Amino acid sequence: MADTKTKGGTVAVAGIVHRYAGVLALNGVSLDVQPGTFTAVLGPNGAGKSTLAQILCGVLRPTQGSVTVDGVARTRRSRRAFVEDGVVLVPEGRRLFGQLTVRENLLLGAYGARCGTVEMHRRLAETLPLMPRAVQEGQERAAATLSGGEQQMLAVGRAIMAAPRTIVLDEPSLGLAPILIDKVYEVLGQLNASGVTVVVIEQIAAHAMRYAKSLTVLDRGSIVYSGSATDDAAEEALKVGYLGHAT
């Protein structure tokens, strides 16, 4: 990950309103993710977290409002253009290709970022050491045969293959045992230490709050807290929707 040092990207949204048919999912959300930070976006079920994650990464275009990547307006750009700008989403539910091999899933991350074969193999050599043994040693296995935790790590690995400057993860701990969540967060901590900007979207606070320096709390489509993750006010904000606290 040496080449990602000092390369943390920024992504910002302003005045975001998003509607799905009649459902108002986000109602005037602004968020400015600073380069190299580790940000947690927390909120109860239905708060609008997934919608925000997808808008931050260009997967979904907002009904209203702007999206800026590294200070440049990007609201109408394609998802691929976001990946090329270094903004990569690890979606909820991982979305791996279960019948493809572990290695093929990893390489697909680099295809998304349009890189050549030599660069792709360089990235693979950098990414594999961050992966659990089952991924490192099981590159020819079908991805579907990995455990849930290993699949989540593979989804993170696939995103790393795109050489992200900003990585956004939608509920990476969903359905995983605490010890496996620790492993996922260890890798996110390593990525962040190498300079990559990390944004984790979670419903449960505990793991994210161990790493996050910045916190945003969403509730019913609006931001109810945005600031330091370590302030007393942050602890208070986590009481929304019984999100839990940092301990």
C-beta closer to ligand ADP: residue 73 or 93: 93
82 three-class SS: helix
How is residue 229 annotated by DSSP? S
Which of 229, 232, 223 shows the shortest CA–CA distance to 206?
229
Binding status of residue 47 toward ligand ADP by CB under 6 A = yes
Binding status of residue 62 toward ligand ADP by CB under 6 A = no
CB of 49 to ligand ADP, least distance (A): 3
How is residue 2 annotated by DSSP? G
Tell me if 140 sits within 8 A of 101, measured CB to CB. yes
Angle at 154 between CA 144 and CA 186, to 5 degrees: 135
Which of 235, 217, 213 shows the shortest CA–CA distance to 226?
217
CB of 161 to ligand ADP, least distance (A): 25
Which of 125, 130, 133, 135 shows the shortest CA–CA distance to 102?
135
Among 4, 10, 39, 51, binds ligand ADP (CB under 6 A): 51
Among 9, 36, 48, 157, binds ligand ADP (CB under 6 A): 48
C-beta closer to ligand ADP: residue 4 or 54: 54
Among 4, 29, 36, 49, binds ligand ADP (CB under 6 A): 49
- Stretch of residues binding ligand ADP (CB under 6 A), selected from 43-51, 154-162, 173-181, 190-198: 43-51
Contacts to ligand ADP by CB under 6 A = 20, 23, 25, 43, 45-51
